[in-house]
Amino acid sequence: MKRTLITTFSIFILLFCWSCTASDDDDCQDCETAVADDDADDDDDTDAPACVTDELRCGEGDIPEKCENGEWIAQSLCPRLHYCNFGDCVDTLIYFPDDEAPHRDMIEWWYWTGDVTDADGNMYGFELTFFYGARVLNIPAWMIHVGIVDESAGEHEGNVWYDFGQPDENPNELHLSSGTASVDRGEDYVYELVGDAGNYGYDFTLTDVKGPIYHGGLGAVRMSSRTADSFYYSRPRIDVEGILYKDGEPIEVTGEAWMDHQWGNFIPFSLIGWDWFSMRLSDNTEIMYFIFRGDEQDWSVVDMALGTYIDENGDQTILSEDEIIVEYYDIWESSVTEGVYPQNWNFRVPGLDLDVDITTGIADQEMPNFFWNYWEGMMNVEGMKDGQPVTGRGFVELSGYAGRPIFWQFFDVWDEKDFRF
């Protein structure tokens, strides 16, 4: 009997509250379960504010926003040579569009890597790099690398082109060209990339969707303890669409890419080698991490390391060497250069609750060349982050594992302060 009365009373309360929410009667405010819905959506019953008072964020167009009375209010645009990070205007050493154009520093490179998929689900990786020795021996020398990875066929094909000549130094545009590749930047940082790698080639349109990231916090990082600083930024998430050519046949593809641009008066001859990781994760976050090694024979000797974590809003956090653990599972030996490279890694960042494996299905992604052999591989990322499964794609670059050219080793006797061109 008691249970019947309770049940009947409960039903009465529910019906009463339902009738309150369905009417405009002011008496309905007394019903605790009726919640006014004053937002723009008709499919919920929440009245939560859009944000917390005085909370900061970077809004559309990288404009700082502040929460006032439950709404995001745009603040002043960040001044020149600043960028928005976690809602604050932060100093930077890099200015756009000027600094995307060539400089007259000793060394400079522009670098794109990415993966694309065709309508049948076949995946391809691509690389395009323009290396420029602006003042090395006072010769304006270029080395251009075009690479294609055909994951379904298990093939990697690369093309190396050498060139000479002064670059186009117009600060309002970016135009790079060679016998095998070209890059042209249009409005809103849309890039046209063309590359030829023998049996493969591509003609892609790349659209930046997340904006630039300034490594080191200000856009400058130390190029190991053996040389000077460099300017360094990335565009970590870029949409890709266009045509990939396989044996002359055009294939429509779409995907994502990563861009790096780095320059400075550091001395490349003094570097022993480095490992570089880029990851685009499925939760719309990204990670860059590099390790400068301190010994040619002992891979465990780290000269210095630095990373950047980019959250879903594009805000960046510096990652130091002691915050990241990287361990390799396998090795691969090149039959061309006899270089021995680590392969397939476990990558952990305890502070981000991140534990992922970085693996490749194609071991031979080496780019042999006259100046410095290196390995550039398309990778798959899979693991856990914040207690949830996470996947991703990325690239790993490995240099110094095939030995430095003999003439580079002569520069080991020079001190940085005495080395001048």
pLDDT tens for residues 109-153? 999 999 999 999 999 999 999 999 876 667 889 999 999 999 999
Burial 401-415 (b: 16+ CB within 10 A, else e): bbbbeeebeeeeeee
Separation CA 91–CA 39 (nearest Å): 37
Cα 14 to Cα 4, 18, 37, distances in angstroms: 16, 6, 18
Query: What pLDDT score does 73 carry?
Result: 95
Query: What pLDDT score does 410 carry?
Result: 58
Identify which has the larger pLDDT, 239 or 225. 239
Contacts of 36 (CB under 8 A, 6+ apart): 47
* Tokens of residue 275, six digits: 């490992």
Maximal CA-CA distance, the chain: 99
Residue pair 202/193 in contact (Cβ under 8 Å)? The answer is yes
Query: What pLDDT score does 39 carry?
Result: 46
Quote the pTM value.
Answer: 0.84
Residue 139: how many CB atoms within 10 A of its CB? 9
Separation CA 410–CA 399 (nearest Å): 18
Residue located via tokens 């369905």: 22
Residue 61 per-residue DSSP state: G
Q: In whole angstroms, how large is the CA radius of gyration of the chain?
A: 27
Query: What pLDDT score does 161 carry?
Result: 95
Please state the φ and ψ torsions of residue 67, each to the nearest 5 degrees.
-85, 125
Contacts of 372 (CB under 8 A, 6+ apart): 268, 399, 400, 404, 405, 408
pLDDT tens for residues 35-85? 344 444 444 444 566 899 999 999 988 899 999 999 999 999 999 899 999
Q: Which amino acid is at 271?
A: L
Q: pLDDT above 70 covers what percent of the chain?
A: 83
| 13 has a pLDDT exceeding 50 | no
Query: What pLDDT score does 344 carry?
Result: 98
Separation CA 190–CA 257 (nearest Å): 12
Query: What pLDDT score does 44 carry?
Result: 45
Separation CA 44–CA 53 (nearest Å): 23
SS3 18: helix
Query: What pLDDT score does 120 carry?
Result: 97
Q: Which domains, from first to last, does the chain contain?
A: 46-91 (no CATH), 98-416 (2.40.370.10)
- At 412, the pLDDT band (50, 70, 90 cuts) reads low
Residue pair 73/87 in contact (Cβ under 8 Å)? The answer is no
Identify which has the larger pLDDT, 52 or 268. 52
